[in-house]
Amino acid sequence: MKSVKYVLRILLLLILPACIPLPVPTPTPTAAIQTSTATPIETSTSTPSTIPEDTETPTLPSTETETSTPTSTVVITATPGPIDIPALEDWDAGNLAISQGAEGEWDHILWGGFANSLIKKGDTYYLYYQGSPFYDEQCESVAHRAIGLATSTDGLKWVKSPNNPVITWSSRGSIEEGAVGSAAWLGEDGRFYVYYGANTGTGCNINASLRLAVSEDGENFQDAGEVLSARDPDVWGFGDELHPVGAYSYDGQWYLYYIPNGVALARKLGLGIGNSSTSFTQSLGLNESSVPAWGPVSVILGESGSVLFTNPEGVNGPLNFYRFDARNPAVVELEDSYTLPNCRQASVVHEGGTNHWVMLCRDETAENYFIRNAFTQ
């Protein structure tokens, strides 16, 4: 009997430990591994240019860093396909945009130069126009010329800037000095580039070289200095006065149209070419110095050919439309020419991707600017 009890006790000692659950060891905590939040580095692999409509585009954290470049970037794209040039009958009769200022105001006289540059940024039109407070009998010319701004968000109602004139010039105090002529262009950086002729001299004797003024908002300008000198013998048309009438930038190059005055090449259209807005290292005349011009120039860039709009004979002349290659603007081909009644010193804008054209021009009395619209077929 004792032996049986002994055997049972041995069995219990062997079985009980196996029935009791053993404690599970708790792992020692480790520090969490931090993943990088840096923006992935872009590779040279191209991404699709379009996103399917039913795909939600994720919002990514901003990675912008503060630089001196304006935050508003404008991509200047050429109009796709051929540009249809409006015929004479496509233009409407026009509506009043702005009128001359009262006697004694800076823009009481609206003639005496080529400042009529029309450009558009976003939904706003910007017109840079020239004004003068009075006519000087001694020098037989308008005095203290300057450049002002008028804007419109619908093309119908125009408002003169309260800061007018927005561009002025005088280095020696002569009443003949001033900002004469303008060539405006909207850069890819979103800034406004306005070239102007700087009348400089004493008494009634002046010459004019080309200068540049730059603005972030189109209204408050900083002078960027001289870009083409009328005293430089290497500049086409040098000798007396140079007046800018149009400008554009394309494929890394800048192009500046201008008209000489007081020399043999007067009333011909010249072109400055450079790799920046302030450096024009080459200059020449269009079509071997044979293209007439005596007023503003407008440029409409197109992928399959661009359009150059000119005023060839001043106040009484027609309007000329030329075709040209934006990479070779020194060669142009006349496409059409006609005269609009009561329309002088005109400037145009083409609404890219549409058949809509907008024109601003002075009337025959030189007291008003009228807005005209055209829709090509």
Percent of the chain at pLDDT exceeding 90 = 74
pLDDT at position 77 is 57
Location of structure tokens 């080459």: 282
pLDDT at position 313 is 86
In angstroms, the CA 210 to CA 197 distance is 5
pLDDT at position 230 is 98
pLDDT at position 50 is 30
**127 lies in some domain:** yes
Looking up residue 175, the CATH number of its domain turns out to be 2.115.10.20
**35 lies in some domain:** no
Counted domains in the chain: 1
Q: Is the omega angle on the peptide bond into residue 70 within 30 degrees of 0, that is, cis?
A: no
Location of structure tokens 């009997």: 1
**19 lies in some domain:** no
Average pLDDT of the chain is: 83
**199 lies in some domain:** yes
Q: Worst-scoring range by mean pLDDT, 6-20, 171-185, 252-266, 297-311?
A: 6-20
pLDDT at position 209 is 98
Q: Worst-scoring range by mean pLDDT, 36-45, 150-159, 214-223, 313-322?
A: 36-45
pLDDT one-digit tens code per residue, 301-344: 998 899 999 999 876 779 999 999 999 999 999 999 999 999 99
pLDDT at position 100 is 98
**10 lies in some domain:** no
pLDDT one-digit tens code per residue, 82-106: 899 999 999 999 999 999 999 999 9
DSSP SS3 for 8: helix
In angstroms, the CA 281 to CA 228 distance is 9
**82 lies in some domain:** no
**42 lies in some domain:** no
Q: Is the CB of residue 124 less than 8 Å from the CB of residue 152? A: yes
In angstroms, the CA 184 to CA 252 distance is 17
Res. 21: pLDDT tops 60:
no
Question: Bridge partners of 302?
Answer: 79
Strand 344-350, strand 356-362: pairing = antiparallel
User: Which residue did the predictor score with more confidence, 21 or 198?
Assistant: 198
Containing structural domain, residue 350 = 88-375
pLDDT at position 93 is 95
Res. 297: pLDDT tops 50:
yes
Question: Considering the entire predicted model, what is its pTM?
Answer: 0.80
User: Which residue did the predictor score with more confidence, 65 or 207?
Assistant: 207
- pLDDT tier at 12, thresholds 50, 70, 90: very low
Question: What's the mean pLDDT in 55-77?
Answer: 35
Res. 218: pLDDT tops 50:
yes
pLDDT one-digit tens code per residue, 224-242: 999 999 999 999 999 999 9
pLDDT at position 275 is 97
pLDDT one-digit tens code per residue, 245-284: 999 999 999 999 999 999 999 999 999 999 999 999 999 9
Written as one string, the DSSP assignment of 149-191 is EEEESSSSS-EE-TT--SB---SS--TT-EEEEEEEEE-TTS-
pLDDT at position 80 is 67
**38 lies in some domain:** no
pLDDT at position 352 is 84
